[in-house]
Amino acid sequence: MRVLRVTGAFAAALAIFMALPLYAQSAHSRLNAPALLKRFDSLSRQLMCTCGCNMPLRNCNHTGHCNAWPQRDALDKLLLSGASDEEILKGFQHGFGAVADKGDAFAMARTPDYGYMQAQFKNGFGSQIMSIPQSNYLGVFAFLGFVLAVGVAALFIRKKRKKTDGNQTLQLLDDEHRAALLKKISAEES
């Protein structure tokens, strides 16, 4: 009985803690200032990654050669340079113009690995860069997972607390019938 309680408690704790990493998303930024990190987080939720993953820039976790890296690098450097949120969003959507050719914020896009993105920074990514409608699907699923885990744990605890009464057990054979059957079996064997 004690083993079942410990196992049930462990399973419930595991289910609850499995939902927590859904909130622990990395910002993918090198910024240190809390105010800039909040702005980076907000802006990277509004911008889409253009690598084809169909995820907001904040959530794209592709490694290696991914379009998110120059986009995040530019976003970091634009925030450090003091650009406003509106200027950054407008620039990503409609282009940064000649600034993209010389600006330090777009240095990664001028490298041979990401040179194809230079034109997008200069002329704009268009309306597809915006992640509209914004949704909090991760938060919704984390909450639903938590509710489900609590419900399963409550049902498990409720089931274990109900004690069965010894008098309510079903007796298949009474002593008289049992003796008669044993006598019949022993007669057939001999």
Residue pair 40/75 in contact by the 8 Å Cβ criterion: yes
Averaged pLDDT of the chain: 83
- Report CA 72 to chain centroid distance, whole Å: 20
This model's pTM is above 0.85: no
Calpha distance 66→170 (Å, rounded): 66
Higher model confidence: residue 15 or residue 33?
33
For residue 112, give Cα distances in angstroms to 3, 72, 136.
60, 17, 36
Looking at residue 169, its pLDDT comes to 59
Residue 130 tokens read as 């915006």
Looking at residue 88, its pLDDT comes to 95
Q: What is the dihedral of CA 21, 24, 26, 31, to 10 degrees?
A: -160
pLDDT tens-digit readout, 85-109? 999 999 999 999 999 988 899 999 9
pLDDT tens-digit readout, 134-158? 566 777 888 999 999 999 999 998 8
Looking at residue 25, its pLDDT comes to 38
pLDDT tens-digit readout, 58-78? 888 887 778 888 999 999 999
What domains can be seen in the chain, in order of their start residue? 1-29+141-190 (no CATH), 31-129 (1.10.8.640)
